[in-house]
Amino acid sequence: MKNLVGAALLGQSGGPTSVINASAAGVFVEALKQPNITAVYGAVHGIKGVLHEDFYDMKEETLEELMLLKNTPSSSIGSVRYKMKDPKIDDSEYKRLLEVFKKYNIRYFFYNGGNDSMDTCNKISKFFKKSGYDCNVMGVPKTIDNDLNATDHSPGYASAAKYVATTLMELYHDATVYDTPMVTVVEIMGRNAGWLTAAAALAQAKGQGPDLIYLPEVPFDFDSFFVQVQRILAEKGKVIVAVSEGIKTKDGKYIPELFQELKKDAFGHAQLGGTAQVLAEEIGKRTKAKVRAIEFSLLQRSAAHLASKVDVEEAFNSGKKAVQAAVKGTTDKMVGFKRISSNPYKIKYVLLPLSLAANTEQKVPLNWILPDGKGMTQDFIDYASPLIQGESKAKLVDGLPKFAKLKKVRVKKIV
C-alpha cells in the first residue's frame, strides 16, 4: 500500500445506466480535491481510450458542470465493450497500457463497470504489480443487472428497477382499459440474472402489475407458460406478462434462439432481444386475444427522470470513496455495499477484493421466486423496496431536463 503522487484516470465500460455519470462525478470531484493527484483524466471510450492515449482533461470542466453529471444518464466520457486478451496468452495490450501509464504518470486508475470490467481491472492491477509499476487500481461498480458478486446491490439497479415498476404500473392501466381479450408481453433486460425483471413484483404488490413474471434463474417451459396465460385470460380477459430477455429452456436455449441464430458481442455473449415478440406471436397462434409485445430496451437504463435518490447518492459516493481509498494507498479493491438494515434502510460502504466480483454473477435466490411465474416472495419486496426510494433528477429548463454538457477538452498527446 503506497501513497502515490501522479495523475488519476477513470474509464467506463459496458452498458450505461442512469447513474453511471453520478459515479464519474464522484470520482472527478473528489480526485480534483486531492493534493497527491496531479491531473484528472477521463478515458474516451474506456480501455480503448487508454490504449489509444485518448483522454479528456477533467480540470478543464467547471464544478457546476461536473455536478450536473449526477442527474445525467449514460456515460458522458463514453463507454466501450472491449475484451482484452488473457495476459498469459498475449500480454501486448497490457504492455501498451503500462507504456501509456508511465508516459502520463498515471498512478491512480478507476474502472467503472460490471463483472467483465472488474475482471479487466483485476488483470491490469496484477500485470502492473508483476511489472513493478506502482499504481493504485480501484473498481467502481455499476450494472442495472444487479449481478455483481459480493455486494448487496449495484449502482444503476435501483433506478432501472424503479423505472420497470413504475412503467408497468402505468402500462397496467392502459393494457386493461378495453372490453376485449388482450395479452401484453413486456421484455425486460437481464441475461442470466433476473433482478430487473423481478422488480415487476413491486408493481404487482400494488395490484397494478403483471400477472406472470419469468426470470432466467428458472428454466422456461413453453407448455406451462401457455397454460398459465390461457387460465388467466379465461378468468380476467386480460393478461400482462413480464419476461427477462435471457429466459432459457431447460436445454439452455434462449427463446429467440429456438427460431433464429443469435449474434455474439465482444465478450462472446449472445445479443438478446426479441423474446417478447416471439412469445407474443406464439400466444397469437393459440388464442383469439389481441396480443402486444413491448420491449423496454434502452429506456430502462437511461430513464434518469425516474432515478432513485438512494441510487444517485450511492453511485456518487462509490466514486468518491474509491478515490479516498486509493489516495490512502488501497489497491485491488472494488467499492461495495453491505446492508445493515432494510427498515430503516442503512448500508455500509466496504472495500472488496476485485477478484470476488470478476466474472462471477450474483443471481436472484431461488427461494425468492414463486412457482409457475406467479412472481416474487416478500423477501424480494423487502430487499428491493428501500432501494427505489426518493427522487433525484435534473432541473428543468423550458420544461426539459438540464443535462451536463462537458467541454471534453482532449489531453495533448506526449510525444
pLDDT in tens, the chain (415 residues): 568 999 999 999 999 999 999 999 999 999 999 999 999 999 999 999 999 999 999 999 999 999 999 999 999 999 998 888 888 899 999 999 999 999 999 999 999 999 888 999 999 999 999 999 999 999 999 999 999 999 999 999 999 999 999 999 999 999 999 999 999 999 999 989 999 999 999 999 999 999 999 999 999 999 999 999 999 999 999 999 999 999 999 999 888 887 765 555 555 555 556 899 999 999 999 999 999 999 999 999 999 999 999 999 999 999 999 999 999 999 999 999 999 999 999 999 999 999 888 778 899 999 999 999 999 999 999 999 999 999 999 999 999 999 999 999 999 999 8
Is 192 in the same domain as 282?
A: yes
Q: What is the pLDDT of residue 102?
A: 97
Question: Which residues constitute the domain of residue 348?
Answer: 6-144+304-360+390-401
Q: Which of 276, 302, 328 is the last residue of a domain?
A: 302
CATH of the domain at 337: 3.40.50.450
25/177 Cα distance (integer angstroms): 43
Give the domain CATH number at 188: 3.40.50.460
Kindly state whether residue 151 falls inside one of the protein's structural domains: no
Verify that 168 and 295 share a domain, yes or no: yes
Locate 131 and state its grid cell: 511489472
Q: What are phi and psi of 257, to 5 degrees?
A: -65, -20
Please give the pLDDT value at position 270.
53
DSSP strands (E only) in 177-289: 182-188, 212-214, 238-244
How many CB atoms lie under 10 A from the CB of residue 235? Answer: 10
Same domain, 91 and 72: yes
Q: Which residues contact 64 (CB under 8 A, 6 or more apart)?
A: none
Cβ neighbours of residue 55 closer than 8 Å, sequence gap 6 or more:
9, 41, 42, 43, 44, 49, 104, 410, 411
Residues 284 and 338 in one domain: no
82 and 45 inside one domain: yes
The pLDDT value given to residue 357: 82
The secondary structure of residue 248, as a DSSP letter, is: B
- pLDDT given for residue 379 in this prediction: 98
Give the torsion through C-alpha atoms of 322, 304, 363, 148, to 10 deg.
-20
* Domain assignment of residue 411, yes or no: no
Annotated catalytic sites, by residue?
145
Q: Smallest Cα–Cα separation from 199: which of 228, 159, 234?
A: 159
295 and 167 inside one domain: yes
Bridge-based pairing state of the strands 136-141 and 106-113: parallel
> In the prediction, which pLDDT does 272 show?
55
Domain count, the chain: 2
- The reported pLDDT for the residue numbered 121 is 92
The total number of residues shown for the chain amounts to 415
Q: How many other C-beta atoms can be found within 10 angstroms of the C-beta atom of residue 393?
A: 17
State residue 261's pLDDT score: 58
Measured CA distances, 194 to 188, 298, 382 (Å): 9, 17, 16
Residue 32 backbone phi and psi in degrees, to 5: -65, -20
